[in-house]
């Protein structure tokens, strides 16, 4: 933990009065900005900033064998890398837990919401399907990479188009994108992470707030009112009442965040 | 509207758990150990420690460290699992630490580590819940000071109906709204130390799920408590 104890204590004292270091209210999100097509070799890509936090998400497609348990569906794979460039805290080497978890959290929100219509990505049952790779890279970690990564993944998917596939030679012609979009559904999964710190419950944490977080609840859901994925993190318990409050806060936040990125999803 | 009678594949009642088995002391070498099963899902857990943390740079002078390692034996499922850690097991290991730690008085062991090894011998869904239950018992059996013992259960939503303790057939349920899997771990007071969800559910239903989990974890708790009590000769 790199945030000092005394800072942690101060964060809690502030939150008891409903205040945060950067002047935000507990349920206030930082400004979100989005840019698409940030890498022209990717079939779809997006850059998402939440305040100073920044991620880049790219979508690559290939033609591959389906998984044995879903012979008539495309493959989905989400991975994330926390680049040493994005924070003095990250080091090179095999992925550690935070990177693994980030990939899995986004994977589950997208998979469980059935946002990608994987059944439409089957070319020949049992033999050939499209594989969708969503790769997440942190560019600057100032807290809340999870929510940023999920927005990036959804927007990158929304912009992604299938490359040309040469049936005869069984080869993809990368660089020649077709008009065909990656088939996605109308219902958009939005991931909101809530933290309990002392007596306060906040959304969109800064890195200091993440350091002193006692319980973290990540919820993937849609503005239509479905919840697709939940994961509790960190080692303090929460009561059922707190959970209910978190559900309400995250629902409100989901609607706000969705409306601020809606224009990129058209 | 008359609700059609919902039938679970194995004929259980919606709030009925599979038969549970709990036993402590299954690994004599360990400082504490336990077995916990939900039907065909069998988990064993062994605790080693508290002992000095190695490597030294991982020592925490403020509190002890709980280090869990969840792993499925290669032959515990239909398609052999490649031995060694994978992304799923890495995540479950961490989730298990988070689920257990709130109940432990781990502050008493600065610079020390408590190792908890969890192995799934036979799997028929709900393995992480069985693992957490076994681990909680093994920690108690090892005499680690704790405030209480946590209990874990998976709640499922099959189409529109809520059921307790999903098995593999139910996990793969595809009719109607399909299957939603919600593993939850609670203290006997109903505080949530772990919750995950995969599937599709509304906020209102989730509140029902938490209530159902509270009732169901109590049943698990009784089984754990009984096994622990029986292990102590008075």
CA distance B134 to B80: 23
At residue B16, the 3 state secondary structure works out as coil
* B234 domain residue, yes or no: no
B1 inside domain? no
Quick check: is B212 in a domain? yes
Any domain includes B28: yes
Q: What is the pTM of this model?
A: 0.88
ipTM of the complex: 0.79
Contact A230 B196 (CB under 8 A): yes
Q: Per-residue confidence at B233, pLDDT binned at 50, 70, 90?
A: confident
The predicted pLDDT at position B201 comes to 96
pLDDT band at B2 (very low <50, low <70, confident <90, very high): very low
Which segments in chain A show pLDDT lower than 70? Answer: 1
- Domain range for B217: 20-223
Instruction: State the best of A72, A105, A191, A235 to mutate against chain B, taking most chain B CBs within 10 Å.
Output: A235
Residue B37 lies in a domain: yes
| B-chain residues near A68 (CB < 8 A) | 79
Architecture of domain A5-265: 2-Layer Sandwich (3.30)
Our CA-based measurement puts residue B36 at a distance from the nearest CA of chain A, in whole angstroms, of: 23
Q: What's the pLDDT band for B234 if we cut at 50, 70, 90?
A: low
Q: Do B203 and A112 touch (CB under 8 A)?
A: no
Beta carbons of A254 and A191 less than 8 angstroms apart: no
A29-65: pLDDT as tens digits: 999 999 999 988 899 999 999 999 999 999 999 999 9
Distance from CA of B182 to the nearest CA of A (A): 8
* pLDDT attached to residue A1: 52
Are the C-beta atoms of residues B172 and B78 closer than 8 Å to each other?
Answer: no
**Whole-number pLDDT of residue A41:** 85
In this prediction, residue B1 has a pLDDT band, given cuts at 50, 70 and 90, of very low
Count of residues making up chain A: 266
CATH number, domain containing residue B74: 3.30.230.70
Over range B135-140, report the average pLDDT: 98
Chain A residues touching B196 at Cβ < 8 A: 229-232
Q: Tell me if chain B has a CB within 8 Å of the CB of A103.
A: yes
How many structural domains comprise chain B? 1
For chain A, the distance separating the N- and C-terminal CA atoms, rounded to the nearest angstrom, is 41
The model's pLDDT over B16-43, given as tens digits with 9 standing for 90+, comes to 999 999 999 998 889 999 999 999 999 9
Tens digits of per-residue pLDDT, B175-222?
Answer: 899 999 999 999 999 999 999 999 999 999 999 999 999 999 999 999
Residues 6+ apart with CB under 8 A from A123: A63, A129, A130, A165
- A227 with B201: Cβ contact below 8 A: yes
Dihedral in degrees, nearest 10, Cα atoms A245, A247, A249, A253: 180
Do the domain assignments include residue B166?
yes
d(CA B32, CA B46): 6
Rounded Cα distance, A28 and B224, in Å: 43
In-domain check, residue B10: no
């Amino acid at each position: 933990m790199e945030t000092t104890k005394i800072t942690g204590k101060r964060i809690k004292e502030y939150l008891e009065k409903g205040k945060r270091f950067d002047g935000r209210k507990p349920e206030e999100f930082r400004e979100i900005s989005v840019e698409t097509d940030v890498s022209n070799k990717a079939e779809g890509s997006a850059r998402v900033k939440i305040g100073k936090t920044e991620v880049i998400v790219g979508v690559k497609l290939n033609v591959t064998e389906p998984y044995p348990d879903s012979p008539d569906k495309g493959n989905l794979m989400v991975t994330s890398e926390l680049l040493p460039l994005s924070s003095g805290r990250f080091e090179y080497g095999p992925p550690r837990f935070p990177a693994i978890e980030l990939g899995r959290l986004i994977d589950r929100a997208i998979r469980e919401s059935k946002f990608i219509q994987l059944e439409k990505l089957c070319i020949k049952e049992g033999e050939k399907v499209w594989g969708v790779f969503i790769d997440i890279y942190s560019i600057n970690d100032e807290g809340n990479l999870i929510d940023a990564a999920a927005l990036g993944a959804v927007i990158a998917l929304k912009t992604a188009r299938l490359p040309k596939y040469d049936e005869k030679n069984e080869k993809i012609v990368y660089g020649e994108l077709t008009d065909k979009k990656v088939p996605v559904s109308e219902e958009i999964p939005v991931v909101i992470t809530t933290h309990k710190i002392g007596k306060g419950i906040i959304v969109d944490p800064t890195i200091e707030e993440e350091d002193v977080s006692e319980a973290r609840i990540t919820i993937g859901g849609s503005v239509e009112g479905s919840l697709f994925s939940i994961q509790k993190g960190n080692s303090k318990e929460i009561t059922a009442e707190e959970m209910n409050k978190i559900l309400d806060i995250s629902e409100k936040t989901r609607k706000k965040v969705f409306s601020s990125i809606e224009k990129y999803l058209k | 509207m008359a609700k059609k009678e919902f039938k679970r594949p194995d004929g259980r009642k919606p709030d009925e758990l599979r038969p549970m088995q709990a036993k402590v002391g299954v690994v004599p070498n360990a400082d504490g150990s336990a077995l916990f099963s939900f039907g065909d899902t069998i988990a064993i857990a062994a605790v080693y420690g508290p002992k000095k943390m190695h490597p030294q740079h991982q020592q925490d002078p403020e509190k002890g460290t709980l280090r869990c390692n969840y792993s499925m034996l290669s032959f515990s499922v239909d398609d052999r699992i490649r031995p060694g850690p994978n992304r799923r097991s890495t995540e479950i290991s961490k989730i298990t630490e988070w689920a257990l730690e709130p109940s432990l008085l781990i502050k008493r062991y600065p610079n020390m580590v408590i190792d908890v090894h969890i192995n799934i011998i036979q799997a028929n869904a709900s393995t992480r819940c069985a693992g957490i239950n076994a681990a909680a018992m093994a920690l108690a059996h090892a005499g680690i000071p704790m405030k209480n013992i946590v209990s874990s259960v998976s709640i499922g939503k099959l189409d529109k109906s809520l059921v307790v303790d999903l098995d593999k057939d139910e996990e793969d349920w595809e009719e109607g709204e399909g299957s939603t899997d919600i593993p939850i771990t609670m203290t006997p007071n109903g505080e949530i130390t772990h919750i995950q969800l995969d599937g599709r559910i509304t906020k209102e239903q989730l509140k029902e799920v938490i209530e159902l989990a509270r009732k169901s974890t109590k049943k698990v708790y009784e089984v754990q408590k009984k096994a622990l009590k029986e292990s102590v000769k008075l």
